[in-house]
Amino acid sequence: MTERTYNVLFLCTGNSARSILAEGILRKDGEGRFTAYSAGSQPKGTVNPLALKVLGDHGYPTDGYRSKSWDEFAALGAPVMDFVLTVCDSAAGEVCPVWPGHPSIAHWSIEDPAAVEGSDADKEQAFVRAFQFLKSRIGTFVHLPLASLDRFTMGTRIQQLVMWKRQARLQQVGLIRPRSRME
């Protein structure tokens, strides 16, 4: 029996940085199991060169990306998405199109590396941090038992992933203490 391939759409406002990084990571890390796409509510029209640089520096393909509108994926004949993941707060708060197929939808809040001001090194480091954050989250996502979960349960699991990662980060920096087994 052949395992199903799942379509995943990453959304961001400009579709030039975070959603491009996420698409690139899932293209490679989820190859054969996922087909990755990205789009924006107000696409910039170009991909940020630092997104491509960071992908390339980490061994990910840098070709075939373009900044495009999410309307392409709501149109008749577009690939039907199984998952739609917003990766910026402004896109998460916007009224999204009605997605064919009623995919599971989740939000992963990630700081915009393109908004960082400072030296070229500061800007590149912001892209590296966004890449690492997305790689970690996508790494967990690709190992979820997708075939055995229904859409509602999957949406809940994806949201739990966000909470687990946030809690681990807060524990790392000492803002909360780990829970004991008795709590």
Q: Encode pLDDT of 116-157 as tens digits.
A: 999 999 999 999 999 999 999 999 998 887 665 555 455 555
pLDDT on residue 154: 58
In a domain, 178, yes or no: no
41 located within any domain: yes
* CATH classification of the domain holding 137: 3.40.50.2300
| Rounded-to-integer distance, Cα 39 and Cα 131, Å | 17
Evaluate whether residue 182 is within a structural domain. no
Q: Taking Cα atoms as reference points, which of 168, 103, 113 lies closest to residue 136?
A: 168
pLDDT tens digits for the chain (183 residues)?
457 889 999 999 999 999 999 999 999 999 999 999 999 999 999 999 999 999 999 999 999 999 999 999 988 889 999 899 999 866 556 666 777 777 888 888 899 999 999 999 999 999 999 999 999 999 999 888 766 555 545 555 566 566 656 666 656 666 555 544 343
Half-sphere exposure of 110 (CA within 13 A, CB side): 32
Could you tell me the two tokens for 107?
């939000």
Residue 181 lies in a domain: no
As for how many domains the chain has, the answer is 1
Q: Is residue 89 part of a domain?
A: yes
Question: Is 168 domain-assigned?
Answer: yes
pLDDT at 85: 92
**Domain-located, residue 183:** no
104, with CB counted inside 10 A (0-12, 13-18, 19+), is buried
Distance in angstroms (rounded) separating the CA atoms of residues 182 and 165: 21
- Domain extent, residue 69, equals 6-172
* pLDDT at res. 181: 38
Q: Does residue 128 sit within a domain?
A: yes
Please, where are the H alpha helices in 60-150? Answer: 71-74, 89-92, 120-141
Catalytic residues: 12, 88, 96
